[in-house]
Amino acid sequence: GSTDLFAVQRKIAGPGAIPSWKSGAFNHELDVTLTGNPLTTEILYTTDGSDPRESGRLYSGPIHVDEGTTNLQYVARGEGGTSSAVKSETYTVDMTAPEVTASVSGGTFDAVQNVTLSSPEATARIYYTLDGTTPTTNSPSYGGGVIRIDQTSTLQAIAVDALGNASEP
């Protein structure tokens, strides 16, 4: 014969909190809310990466996150002194558009011009037009090399970073 023996163990969850935004990079400011579960009586947090159990502020409303990197650390507390583990989220807010430069400044020339475009932001993509229209991400993408200008043209270019921040033409 055989027997099937098993035991069911029930663990009661303790206090906890959930952020409205998960870690990531953003091209806009954030207002992060922390929502506690029913066993949470208070949430303590810091925005400088320090331990919220030691130097945390009492959460009372959205935490504003602006340009730069913010390391949010938070802990939930319940009745009787129970606490959740310290959790963290890292937010990088970059609202600065990359720059784009041309190797030759505009002007009137008697010879063909070979122009290169560059951006100090390595991940930026560069888009350009030669007819004076404003470039968009649907315009030709600059892939390096030279743009040969052998007739009257108006070169305009933009750089767009990975978060969608775009420079002025």
Least Cα distance to 72 among 90, 94, 99 occurs for 90
- Can you list the alpha helix ranges (DSSP code H) found in the chain? 52-55
DSSP strand pairing (68-77 vs 63-65) = unpaired
For the chain, give the percent of residues with pLDDT over 90.
Answer: 91
Q: What is the mean pLDDT of residues 138-167?
A: 96
Least Cα distance to 45 among 17, 11, 20 occurs for 17
Contact assessment for residue 114 and residue 147, using Cβ atoms and an 8 Å cutoff: yes
Q: What is the CA radius of gyration of the chain?
A: 27
- Tens of pLDDT, residue by residue over 44-95, are 999 999 999 999 999 999 999 999 999 999 999 999 889 999 999 999 999 9
Least Cα distance to 20 among 71, 58, 62, 48 occurs for 62
Least Cα distance to 83 among 43, 114, 51 occurs for 43
- Confidence (pLDDT) at 154: 96
DSSP 38: T
Residue 12, pLDDT above cutoff 80: no
The residue with tokens 């070169």 is 155
Q: Model's pTM, two decimal places?
A: 0.80
For the chain, give the percent of residues with pLDDT over 70.
Answer: 93
